[in-house]
A and B are shown apart, each in its own frame.
Chain A
Amino acid sequence: MSIRKETKELLEAEIITEETAEKIKEYYKNKTSSASSDTLFSVFAVLGALSAGLGIILLIARNWDDIPRKIQTILAFIPLLIGQFTAGYILLKKQNSIAAKESSAVFLFLSAGANLSLISLIYNISESTADFLFTWLLLVLPVIYIMKSSASAILYIFLITYYAVATGYGHRSENTFNFYWIFIASILPFYYRLIKKEPESNYIVFFNWIIPVSLIISLGIWADNFDLIMFPAYMSFFGLLSATGNTPYFSDKKNLHNSYKIIGAAGLAVILLITSFGFFENELRKIPGDSANFLYSPEFAVSILITAAALTVNILFSANKKLSGINILNISYLIFFIMFFAGMYFPGFRISVNILILIIGILLIKQGSEQNSIGILNFGLIIISALIICRFFDTDLSFIIKGILFISAGAGFFSANYMMLKKRKQND
C-alpha cells in the first residue's frame, strides 16, 4: 500500500492529525524524488558511457585497413585519453556526483580494453582471449577503487568470471594456478567497503548475487584427476554460503538481498539429489583403487579448506541450535563430507544420502507448518518430490511403487498447502 493511502487511512481513523499527515507526505515526497532521480540519472549515465565506448570502437573499426599504421596507432589511444582525462577531471572537480563518477569510470574501463584490442588488431597479435583479458583487468583494477565505481566493479566480476572459464576449463587447465582467485580476492575489499560505508546502495544487491554466482562457476576449475572430490567441495561451499546468509548481517534481510541463504539452500539440496543416484556411489568406490593418492590432489585440499571455512562461520554465528529442517540442511555439508569419505571405503553411501534427503525434507515440511511459512513448507515438498523423481530413474523399483510414490507426493503437495492456507485464514 502506498504512503498516500496509508496516511489517508490513518487520518480517517483519527490516529494522526491533518498536520502530521501533511508532514509525512512531504517527507516521503522529498526522500523518494531526490533518491530515485539520482539513481535513475546514474543508471542512464552508465548506460550512456557503455554505448558511447562501444560506439567509438565500431566507428574506428570501419574503414580501418585504409589508414596508415602510425595514424591507426594514434587513433587507438584517443578513446583511452578521453576516458582518462574525463575521469581525472571528475575525480578532482566532481567528487560528489555518483553518476559522473560511475559513468566516467565505466567509460575508462572500456576504453582501456578498446585500446588494447586495437593494438592487437594493428600488429596482428593473436594472443588468446584470456591473455588479452588478463592485461585489461590488471590495468583497470585501480580505477575501480580510485573512482569507487560499483558499476565497473560489476563489469570486472563478469570479465574475471569469463577469464576463469576461458583459462580454467578445457585442455589449458593443466596444473597451473589460476589468476582468477587473485582477481576475485582483489575485488572483495571493494564489496566490504560498500557494505560498511554505503549500506543503502542499490549496488549491494547486485554484488550479493554475482559474487557467489561467479565463485560457483569458477570453483570447478580446481577439478583435476579426482573431479568427484569437487562434490564435497561444492557441498561445503554451498554450506558456507548458507552459513554466511545466516550471519547477523544477512539473516534479517529480505530474500532478494539475501542471495547467500537462497543460493546456499538450493545448492545444498541439488548436490544431495545428484549424489543420491547409484552411479555416484559406484564412482566413489573406485577412488581408493586409483593409482594416484587422492590425499595429494588439489580437489581434496580445496574441499578441506572450504569445509573448515563453512564450519568456522557456522560455529561463530549460529544463533539457534534447534533441530529444524533449515538447520539440518545448513549443516548437511558436514554430514555429507563425512559420508563421502567414509563412502569410499564402506558401502551404504547411496542409502545414507537418500535417508538424509528424506529427513531434511520431512523436517522442512514440519518446520514450515509450525512456523506458518509457505516458503519453507514448499521447499520441503519440492525436495521430497525431487527425491521421488530421481528415484523414478532408478530401474530397480517396480512401477507400482513408483506410481504410489508419485501419487502420495502429489497428494502431499496439495493437502499441505491447502491446510496451511486454511490455517492462515482461521488466524486472520
Chain B
Amino acid sequence: MIKKLYFPAFIAAAILQLYIPVKMITGKEKVLKYGNEYKFKTAPVDPNDPFRGKFIQLRFDRDITNFRTDKHWRNGEKIYVLLEKNTGGFAKIKSVSKKQYPDNTDFVKAEVAYTVFDKQIVIKYPFDKFFTEETKAPEIEKIYNSNNFNGEKPSYALVAVKNGDAVLKDLIINGISVKKIITQKNNN
C-alpha cells in the first residue's frame, strides 16, 4: 500500500520543485514588464574584496543606503523602503517602514545591514550583485571601479520596482550599458 504512494508523492515533490522556480521567474518577469525603473547611484567597491564568484558586488551611494529614522532597528531586520526620484532622476529614499506600503506605490523590501548611532540605519538592498561570466567579470569590474572614481557621468544600477519586489536590469557605467559592453567585447 505504502509503496503505491511513492510515485504520486514523487510527482508531487517534482511539481513543487518546478513550481517554486517558475513562481520566482514569473514574479521577476512581472517586475521587469510592469515595474517602474529607478536609477540607483553606485559607489566604488572596496578594491580588496570586489569579487565573490562571478558577480560584481555593487555598492550604492550613501544617499540611497543611509537613512535617519525615528524607530529602533535591529541588524538584519526586514525594512520596506519607499522610493522617489530626485531632480537628476536618481532614486532617493522617501521614507522607511516596518510594514508594507500600499501596492500602487514604489517601494522595495530590503534589510537593515547595520545601525549607526541607534537610529541612523544603513540599508542593504536585495539587488547588490550583478551576475556575469567568470571571464568577463574582471574587465567589467575594472571599468566599473575606474569610472566610479573619476567618471564624467555617474554610474548607476537600473532597477525595476513593483510591489516591493525589485530586479536589477542593467549596470550603467559612464552612460553605457554593461550588457552592451559585454556584447561589444564578444563581437570584437
Contact = CB atoms under 8 A, between A and B. Distances in A.
B54 A73 contact: no
A126 B179 CA distance: 18
A174 interface: yes
B43 interface: no
Given A126-B126, A174-B76, A88 B131 contact: no
Contact of B6 (A91, A121, A175): A91
B10 A88 contact: yes
B12 interface: yes
B74 interface: yes
Nearest to B57: A126
Given A77-B18, A172-B75, A126 B128 contact: yes
Interface string B46-70: 0000000011000000000000000
A344 interface: no
A428 interface: no
A159 B128 CA distance: 25
Nearest to B159: A124
A84 B7 contact: no
B75 to A, nearest CB: 5
Interface of A is mostly: helix
A174 B128 CA distance: 23
Interface in A84-142: 84, 87-88, 91-92, 112, 115-116, 119-127, 135, 139-140, 142
Interface residues of A, number: 38
A179 to B, nearest CB: 15
Given A66-B186, A123-B28, A174-B75, A88 B14 contact: yes
A181 interface: no
Nearest to A88: B10
A142 B21 CA distance: 17
Contact of A91 (B10, B167, B168, B182): B10
Contacts, number: 98
B168 A171 contact: no
Interface stretch (A56-64, A202-210, A253-261, A263-271): A56-64
A122 B169 CA distance: 10
A378 to B, nearest CB: 46
Contact of B17 (A139, A147, A171, A175): A139
B133 A73 contact: no
B150 to A, nearest CB: 26
A49 interface: no
A170 B126 CA distance: 19
A175 B9 CA distance: 36
B87 interface: no
A65 B6 contact: no
A63 B75 contact: no
B31 to A, nearest CB: 9
Interface in B1-38: 6-7, 9-14, 16-18, 20-21, 24-25, 28
A143 interface: yes
A76 interface: yes
Contacts of A125: 24, 28, 126-127
Given A80-B17, A171-B75, A174-B76, A124 B167 contact: yes
Interface string B146-188: 0000000000000000000001100000000001001100100
Interface in B126-144: 126-134, 136
Given A124-B127, A124-B129, A126-B126, A119 B21 contact: yes
Nearest to B171: A124
B13 to A, nearest CB: 4
A361 to B, nearest CB: 45
A139 B20 contact: yes
B114 interface: yes
Contacts of B114: 171
B132 A65 contact: yes
B108 to A, nearest CB: 12
Contacts of A115: 17, 21
B112 to A, nearest CB: 11
9 contacts: A61-B54, A61-B134, A80-B18, A123-B167, A124-B130, A124-B131, A135-B20, A140-B17, A142-B12
Interface of B: 6-7, 9-14, 16-18, 20-21, 24-25, 28, 54-55, 74-76, 114, 126-134, 136, 167-168, 179, 182-183, 186
Ranked 6 nearest A-B pairs via Cβ: A126-B129, A142-B13, A124-B168, A123-B28, A84-B14, A121-B131
